Chain A
Amino acid sequence: MLIFEQSSKGRKAHAQSPSSMAPLDDLPAELLRETPPLMPEVSEMQAVRHYTRLSQKNFSIDTHFYPLGSCTMKYNPRACNSLAMLPGLVDRHPYAPESHSQGFLSCMHDLQEILKVVTGMKAVSLAPMAGAQGEFAGVAMIKAYHDARGDADRKEIIVPDAAHGTNPASAVMCGFKIKEIPTRDDGDIDVDALKEALGPQTAGIMLTNPSTVGVFERRIQEIASLVHEAGGLLYYDGANLNAILGKVRPGDMGFDVIHMNLHKTFSTPHGGGGPGAGPVGVSKRLEPFLPIPMVDYDGSAYRFVTADDRPQSIGRLSAFAGNAGILLRAYIYARLLGSEGMTRVAEYSTLNANYMLKKMKDAGFEAAYPERRATHEFIITLRKEAKELGVNAMDFAKRLLDYGVHAPTTYFPLLVPECFLIEPTETESIDSLDNFIEAMIKIREEAETEADMVKGAPYTLPVRRLDDVKAARELDITWSPDS
């Protein structure tokens, strides 16, 4: 039942609004609202009960194993939330003077420094509010760099065919054309195709390493040299930073600009789809173009770096200073982990993924890249099961929900048929990994004997499979009393 359908005219949460309506007699009548908006009229308890019950219809990290590849669904420490919401931090106005902001600014400055060291970049801006905005900022800096050198004919960004959809979409928003290059059967990108694609029109290349197919790009140094020799720059999509945190750094691989997804690697909440935080790091030559604001420390006080300090900046991406409260959570997480803890993130997420990969291969599932190590994630392809049993990756995914496991990422990357991209993360124990593998084995057995049952899954959730075609054709995206 919708909250609107629990409404009774005149009912209200009395404790939450002023006891009377203050006069608006100084405002011209033609500027005032004539009829109130259609909002629920419920008591405080009704609202609390309704939204508590809705929450219980979700799978989440706190309730379920959630091995969603490329999303790094690891435990979100509770301390990160409660400490970021301390009075003083949660009440600080974005335009409070620096004299009354030293606590907040010191956290931002320290986070910048930590991210610089762990990624091997020269400078960091925390401004972008999500990974996709970090990508936009990174590509905009590549454009600004070429433009500032009068090298304006570089109109093309190279993107591997396995890249996240945000990569080409972000590059297009910056006015670039996209050139795709293929991935080889062993998961590395095709360097010969890259050589052919490079030229005086190349502005740069966007890469994820470990790549979206779950393997480390072994020829990364050669790729960096080739791109640099052609006059292009290298962009690092930090989606998979969790796999290498403290083990190898994008700056050392030769990347000029990176973004980090703090909601992945630094465990800030995914919140049902945001807010994220997508800081960007750069090599020395891109430093002047970083988005504002940043935080500087002169030995005695912290202050904001603004447009006056950085005339070549690509500018501002939000009204204030990005998703500050999320950045605070990432900072708290970084202090809990410390340098050794960060290195262990990469080690144990990689251990978990390789263990799962081996056990699944032993159980007869097909690895997409069988000769390769897993990174913090890996791909299996269910093409054999789809062909022989008629039960595809989507069916496995839906049936997993009945076994109390959130499905891995399905059908991404697009170049592997019937794929599962599985990322267990370092915070899961061997028991949850074994439990997942057992569920997969059971589902395959079910598929052999009662395929139709599997194809009808899930059965134990609040709803069964939904009619997406109807949702798009008979668009119902806002409630009305007669709907």
Chain B
Amino acid sequence: MPFIPHTEEEVRQMLDAIGANSIDDLFDEIPSELRSFSLDGIPEGLPEMEVAQLMHERARKDADVHCFIGAGAYDHHIPSAVWEVATRGEFYSAYTPYQAEASQGTLQLLYEYQSMMAALMAMDVSNASLYDGASALGEAILMAIRAHRKSKSKKVLVPAGLHPSYRQAANAIVKNQNIELIEIPFDEDTGKISLTALNDYAGTDITALVIGQPNFFGVLEDVDGLTRWAEENNAMTIAVVNPLAMSILKPPGQWGNNGADIACGEGQPLGIPLSSGGPYFGFMCATQKIVRQMPGRIIGRTVDLDGKQGFSLTLQAREQHIRRSKATSNICTNQGLMVTAATIHMSLLGAEGLARAAAASHDKHRKLVSGLTAIEGVEVKFNSPVFNETAISLPVEASTVLEALAADNVLAGFDLKNDYPELGNALLVCSTEKQTGSSIDLFVDKLAALITS
């Protein structure tokens, strides 16, 4: 009984109090024919020591790699204090702050998180988080449809250069609500949103334009021009951005003439480990004007009976537990623990630390690309500025390269062939500030040897 405290005597005492002969009697309202089945296939329980041995053995199988994959998940430095503090039992094992007086720690932290995230995006407001970047885009599209009352088309322009999984998840989330996601191709020279293709929709009723910064190829879009295009065509702008990059790049609230309407994305680069893709957290910021259309939990500052400052869940009239079928979203939890980590992370780095980490990541990436493109036949695919990843073209199949280098524990990047066959043999490579010079040299040497052999 790994975590059950009852002694035999206590069980007897409790059954006597209830007036039952056995624990099994307590299940006598369940039809008996439903109660015979086998749990074959579920192993016997193990003591912690043996489970630990098993998990160490499995973890070792996946360890010790030189990873140059980005594609939406980035291996940045995380201060030790972040997870030491975030996994304190008082954060780790608390629930949604329904009893505000007994949850002021989580509530104040979330208010600080909202403040930091709004500042980073240069937007008015932030919610307390969503599940991840991809589902946050789905929710942002639904929010834009609700908020843009003058637009009737329910058409949303989504660039082909946005993360393929984001496009797929957003589609899965919105497709049953008569919303049309229209794909805008990228320019084959620059990798940016094709302005020619975009202009086909000028003057028509478009509810929103989605802009990725950087986009999936690492390329920086001309965000001012695109946002102005949306403004001129009465479409809302939804920014999907890397939050760490926003410490050095122009943030969504300052794009175009009036800024983006909604900014969302993946919060993982702010103190969350790679962990096979989750749990991460989706963030969402918006202008004050449309705050009541936001999905998810929002924390407000208020006062108590004695006039003392305190924090509580607010604008709950938007949410499913009150509005049921008329709620802004079915979402109930946020990603509380991940946001706890991100808030501590941002506090430790501050604006300058975040900018230095972003710039160092950019710098390491330049070194990687200059090493790789010195190899004959390896070229940069798009002639555009990038943040910390680049699409490179190869003289051989990308899958061949990935397999060969993986044999030396070098994970060389993300093969673009499945999602973008038109790019030919192309690999998306990334470096963060954590990458060492010797790992970069190893990658370059192994690739050179493979190509020239």
Kindly provide the distance from the CB of B275 to the nearest chain A CB, expressed in whole angstroms: 4
Counting chain B CB atoms within 10 Å of each CB, the highest count among A116, A135, A168, A397 belongs to A168
B76-87 contact mask (Cβ, 8 Å, vs A): 1 or 0: 010101011101
Complex: how many Å from CA A336 to CA B4? 12
Is A444 part of the binding interface, using a Cβ–Cβ cutoff of 8 Å?
no
Which residues of A are found within 8 Å of B44, using beta-carbon distances?
338-340
Q: Does B449 contact A (CB under 8 A)?
A: no
A470 sits at the interface (CB 8 A): yes
Chain A residue numbers with a CB within 8 Å of B24 are: 347
Given contacts A13-B353, A91-B75, A477-B301, contact A30 B224 (CB under 8 A): yes
CB distance from B288 to the nearest CB of A (A): 8
Residues 1 to 23 of chain B near chain A (Cβ within 8 Å): 1-6, 10-11, 13-15, 17-20, 23
Q: Judge whether A81 and B92 touch: CB under 8 Å.
A: yes
**In whole angstroms, what is the CA distance A247 to B104 when docked?**
39
- Whether B92 and A478, one on each chain, are in contact in the complex, defined by CB atoms closer than 8 angstroms, is no
> B109 near A359 (CB under 8 angstroms)?
no
Number of A residues with CB within 8 Å of any CB on chain B: 199
- Considering the complex, which residues of chain A in the window 370-421 have a beta carbon less than 8 Å from any beta carbon of chain B? 372-374, 397-398, 401, 406-407, 409, 412
Interface check B320, CB cutoff 8 A: yes
A55 interface residue per 8 A CB criterion: yes
Distance of A435 Cα from B354 Cα, bound (Å): 48
| Residues 218-242 of chain A, each 1 if its beta carbon lies under 8 Å from chain B, else 0 | 1011000000000000000000000
Whether A51 pairs with B90 at a CB distance below 8 angstroms is: no
A449 is an interface residue with CB less than 8 A from chain B: no
Inter-chain contacts of A272 with B (CB < 8 A): 91, 94-97, 103, 106, 109-110, 336-337, 340
A31 touches B92 (CB 8 A): no
- Report the Cα distance A358→B77, complex, angstroms: 54
A300 contacts B by Cβ under 8 Å: no
B271 to chain A, nearest CB (A): 11
Known: A16-B353, A79-B48, A93-B67. A100 touches B176 (CB 8 A): no
Q: Is the CB of A325 within 8 A of B275?
A: yes
Write the chain A residue with the least CB distance to B42.
Answer: A339
A83 and B55 contact, CB distance less than 8 A: yes
- Please determine whether B104 and A42 come into contact, CB atoms closer than 8 angstroms: no
Contacts of B45 in A (CB 8 A): 335-341
Known A-B contacts A22-B359, A130-B332, A248-B34; A477 and B105 likewise in contact (beta carbons under 8 Å): no
Partner of A347, one of B23, B65, B357, B385: B23
> Are A273 and B79 closer than 8 Å at their CB atoms?
no
Q: Are B300 and A21 in contact (CB under 8 A)?
A: no
Residues from 311 to 355 in B contacting A, C-beta threshold 8 Å:
311-312, 314-317, 319-327, 329-338, 340, 343-344, 346-355
User: B23 — which chain A residues lie within 8 A by C-beta?
Assistant: 347-348, 350-351
Majority DSSP secondary structure for residues of A touching B: loop
B276 in contact with A120 (CB, 8 Å): no
Q: Are B355 and A21 in contact (CB under 8 A)?
A: yes
* B205-224 interface code vs A (CB 8 A; 1 in, 0 out): 00000000000000010111
Which of A56, A81, A321, A427 interacts with B277 by CB under 8 Å?
A: A321
CB-based contact A61/B89 at 8 Å:
yes
The residues of A that contact B3 with a CB separation of less than 8 Å are: 74-75, 77, 426-427
**Residues of chain A with a CB closer than 8 A to B112's CB:** 2-4, 479
A276-B333, A477-B301 known; A47-B344 Cβ under 8 A: yes
A221, B257: Cα distance in complex, Å: 62
Asked if B147 is at the interface (CB within 8 A of a chain A CB), the reply is no
Selected contact of A132 from candidates B5, B51, B52, B332, CB within 8 Å: B332
Contact at A335–B51, with CB atoms within 8 Å?
yes
**CB atoms of A475 and B314 under 8 A apart:** yes
Provide the bound-state CA to CA distance between A18 and B434, in Å: 10
- Known pairs A37-B122, A58-B106, A401-B99; A351 contacts B277 (CB<8 A): no
Q: List 17 A-B contacts (CB under 8 A).
A: A22-B360, A31-B223, A51-B344, A58-B94, A92-B62, A96-B65, A97-B406, A103-B57, A129-B131, A130-B333, A131-B333, A133-B131, A316-B134, A336-B47, A340-B45, A461-B101, A475-B314
Since A102-B62, A248-B34 are in contact, a sample of 16 more A-B pairs with Cβ atoms closer than 8 Å, ordered by chain A residue number, is: A28-B220, A34-B254, A58-B102, A68-B98, A79-B51, A94-B72, A106-B58, A130-B332, A131-B332, A166-B332, A318-B278, A347-B26, A350-B23, A461-B104, A470-B302, A472-B316
